[in-house]
Structure 1
Amino acid sequence: MPVYKSLTDNELFVLIQDGDKCAFEEIYERFNGLLYIYACKMVPDREDARDIVQEIFVYLWSNPDIKIKSQLSAYLYTAVRYKIFDWLDKNKSRTNYLQSLESFADRGDYVTDNYIREREFASLIEKEVSLLPPKMRLIFEMSRQQHLSQKEIAEILHLSDKTVKKQMSNALKVLRLKLTSFLLLAVILMLR
């Protein structure tokens, strides 16, 4: 399944909509742990948090007609958040929710730190993208900022689909290499 690892989230999502089980498994691998950690921050029971995340993946797989207006990651996090709200209503856990909210308020500095780290990471990504070779950077920005498909980029730039795909793959490899250490540090700090 190494070919799937090189695809973007949105490319994998298109394959999932066509019923590609391997693409779904790759998305599951990428997001299951992160969504679980996210759910655990708001749901006190670990099994309930796991169930919420699983429901999102079941829905993603069984509804190929889902329309996503932004990035798949944003869609998944939003879906988990709404599922948590449903869970809170069904379980009448308002007391636990209030306690969780108080705890969250007590950790205000932690939230501020996360926001600062998030902004620093966004800035670092922008810097690394600006250092890509010009053609690679242009293709990457057209894909990520203008949300153009590889085919659309190829038509606009008069390149082959294969060239665009290769340039995107190379850009992602470069960025992954440069940003991995920063991400590991951020995750370690988040889990403290």
Structure 2
Amino acid sequence: MDLFKKLSDEELVALITENNSKAFRTLYDRYWDRMLVKALSTLQSHELAEEVVQDAFINFWRRRQTIQLKYSFHTYIASVVKYEVMTKLANRNKQPLFIEDIAFTNPADHSTQQWLDFDELKDQIQNTILTLPDKCQLVFRLSREEGLTANQISNTLNISRKTVEAHISKAIKTLRISLGSFFM
């Protein structure tokens, strides 16, 4: 198994597409803790966070032969966990109400509308990001979704820090213009 630990994520993913369970286990061990912390920070439930991360890895294993990663495995699994968390939160909010619960609800509760607005805003952001050029999208996602600094992105993509900053500025400007109409 030590041999697998020395392999890059891309090499492990290639082995996984050939049904190599040891390569899968290595990626699982490499990212489990990080993804658990990511899920736990939002869900505030260790049990739900474990379930979400487990589902993300199970889905990856099921799709192993057809999956084509556009970016790194870390970006992929972090995105899957993020969307699994959002799904879990959405499902949690769809729990059926019982008669006893109705008597205690606040008539001025706008949480449903806020949740719908949030979903619409999230879709608007994702659609706007998808309109950006590929390199600009990648830089923006690495910055905002992965939390990398401009220097880290610069080193990772072999581009200058000024180019990274220009891509981020362009993405933010595009988002401001797009979301400006959303808030009007």
Measured against the shorter chain, the TM-score band is 0.5 to 0.7
- Aligned residue number for residue 36 of structure 1: 36
Does residue 3 of structure 2 align to residue 3 of structure 1?
yes
Does residue 85 of structure 2 align to residue 55 of structure 1?
no
Q: Secondary structure at the match of 2:42?
A: coil
**Cα separation, 1, equivalents of 2:41 and 2:6:** 30
TM-score (norm 1): 0.51
- Aligned residue number for residue 80 of structure 1: 81
Q: Residue type of the partner of 1:119?
A: T
Deviation at 1:118, TM superposition (A): 3.8
Query: 1:129-148 counterparts in 2 under 5 A?
Result: 145=157
Structure 1 counterpart of 2:149, from 103, 115, 119? 119
* 1:168-192 per-position Cα deviation (integer Å, ceiling 9, x unaligned): xxxxxxxxxxxxxxxxxxxxxxxxx
Deviation at 1:88, TM superposition (A): 1.0
In the alignment, structure 2 segments of 5+ residues that lack a partner are 95-110, 116-142, 159-184
* 1:81-140 per-position Cα deviation (integer Å, ceiling 9, x unaligned): 111111111110769x99xxxxxxxxxxxxxxx98x8427717x93xxxxxxxxxxxxxx
- Aligned residue number for residue 46 of structure 1: 46
- Aligned residue number for residue 16 of structure 2: 16
In the alignment, structure 1 segments of 5+ residues that lack a partner are 99-113, 127-143, 147-192
Divergent runs of 4+, >4 A: none
Deviation at 1:36, TM superposition (A): 0.1
* 1:15-40 per-position Cα deviation (integer Å, ceiling 9, x unaligned): 11110010000001100000000001
Q: Secondary structure at the match of 2:43?
A: coil
TM-score (norm 2): 0.53
Larger radius of gyration: 2
Q: Secondary structure at the match of 2:78?
A: helix
Task: Say what the alpha-carbon RMSD is for the aligned residues.
Answer: 3.0
**Larger relative helix fraction:** 1
**Cα separation, 2, equivalents of 1:75 and 1:118:** 15
* 1:49-96 per-position Cα deviation (integer Å, ceiling 9, x unaligned): 10000001111112121121110000000000111111111110769x
Q: Residue type of the partner of 1:42?
A: T
- Paired-residue identity, %: 23
